[in-house]
Structure formats: C-alpha cells, structure tokens
Amino acid sequence: MNEVNAQYNVAAPGSLPIKVAAFQRRRMFDAFLGACALPDPNKTILDIGVTSDRSYDHSNYLEAWYPHKDKVTASGIDEADFLEEVYPGITFVRADALHLPFPNQAFDVVHSSAVIEHVGSCENQSRMIAECARVARSHFFITTPNRWFPVEFHTVLPLVHWLPKDVFRALLKRTGRSFFAEENHLNLMSGRDLLGAAKIACERDFDVAVRTANLLNWPSNLLLVGRRRS
C-alpha cells in the first residue's frame, strides 16, 4: 500500500482514481457555486480543511479555481500558509473545524470538502456542522464520500466498507491499513447519517438538504447544503 498523504489518501498522482476524483471535484465545485449563488465579488467564503498536500492538481481546489481570491479565507489543521503565496489574495488561518476561531456569521458562505469523514465520532461530525452553521451568514456547503458507493476512495478498496463499521475497521487492521481503522481518521457517512447530523446541529436556523454527485449513475459523493432561514 502507498503511504497515506495529507489528504488521507493512498492513490498515486496521475492514477485513474485520482483522475476520477479530480473530475468529481470539478463537478462538486460547480454544484457549490450554483447552490450558494457564486461567484460574487462581494461575498466572503471560509474554506474549512485545506491541506498541506500538493501531490494532486485538485488539492485545495477552491483556492485554485475560485476567481475572487481576496474573498477567501482558507483554514485547516495543516500548515498551509503557502496558499497565500501560490494564490495571492487568499488568507490562511490555522484552525480546527470543531472549534473555529471566528465570530458568529463571520462569512457569507462556508465550504468544506471531504473533511467531515475525518473529524471522528458522529458527535464530532454534528459539532463540525454546527460550527459551519454558526459562522455562516447565508449558506454552508459540505461534501463527503458516500459510504454506499462501491469503492472506498481513501483506501481504493471495493465493497468492504459496506460491512458493519467494527468489522470494516478490524479488516483494515488485519490487512495493514491501521491508519484508516481509527475512527478519528475515517468515519464514513451515508446520506441518512449526514442529514441526521445536520438536523441535530442546526435545524432551528437552517434549511438543510443532501444532494449527490453521481459517477456512472451511482451517488459517489454527498453534498450537504444549508441555507439560513430569513
């Protein structure tokens, strides 16, 4: 197995799984723009979960692709201040998604891609959504791989992630994938899990819905969209 990189992935740059991931991320980026009425030169964006990894062309894709970079604050637990040099206008703030150092409604829109499956327990996942909702003035947009897609994206293993979670984690340990066996490193979600976590986190203040990005007509990624009620 290849070494786990800072994106919690083992696939080699340029490999088929990474090409597929890049294609899907472009589709999810377009879905983000549509759901949040972007791009808009007057709206501020917080991107939660930027990575220090530079192996893939689509690493930190929002910073790379969003046109109004002076409106983007990038945050994450990795040291990623290089983003300010690579993409002039971007502001980087080192921050934990469970304890964001920003005041309420500090940003118009909050975005987070493929982070929520790495924050640990179901309680932590709800906590992350609550933090996204707290600092969002109008919308938040959170993506995560769909547990019920046949291939698990981080390990590039087929079907075994459909097993009960304790059995899946035991299998990972027995096959030399102990990193991914830890709940703090990988806790996959279904659409029901994601919607349930969102309703616990912010149902009083936000209308929430789970959409999908499909691959070969199968939902590969889940897109949680929250819109603050007037």
Measured CA to CA, the distance from residue 4 to residue 10 in angstroms comes to 5
Mean pLDDT, all residues of the chain:
95
Between 66 and 11, name the one with better pLDDT.
66
Q: Which residues are registered as beta bridge partners of 14?
A: none
State the pLDDT confidence band at 9, using cuts at 50, 70 and 90: confident
Residue-wise pLDDT for 66-125, tens only, equals 999 999 999 999 999 999 999 999 999 999 999 999 999 999 999 999 999 999 999 999
State the pLDDT confidence band at 2, using cuts at 50, 70 and 90: low
pLDDT recorded at residue 152: 95
* Nearest by Cα to 188 from 128, 142, 122, 137: 122
Residue-wise pLDDT for 150-185, tens only, equals 999 999 999 999 999 999 999 999 999 999 999 999
List all residues 6 or more positions away from 59 whose beta carbon is below 8 Å from its beta carbon.
Answer: 7, 51, 53
Q: Which residues are registered as beta bridge partners of 105?
A: none
Residue-wise pLDDT for 213-227, tens only, equals 999 999 999 999 999
What is the CA angle 109-111-115, rounded to 5?
A: 155
Q: What whole-number percentage of the chain has pLDDT above 90?
A: 87
Domain ranges of the chain: 16-150+185-228
pLDDT recorded at residue 6: 64
Helix, strand, coil share of the chain (percent; to 5): 35, 25, 40
Cβ-count burial of 140 within 10 angstroms (0-12 exposed, 13-18 middle, 19+ buried)?
buried
* Nearest by Cα to 44 from 141, 137, 144, 179: 137
* Homologous superfamily assigned to 16-150+185-228: Vaccinia Virus protein VP39 (3.40.50.150)
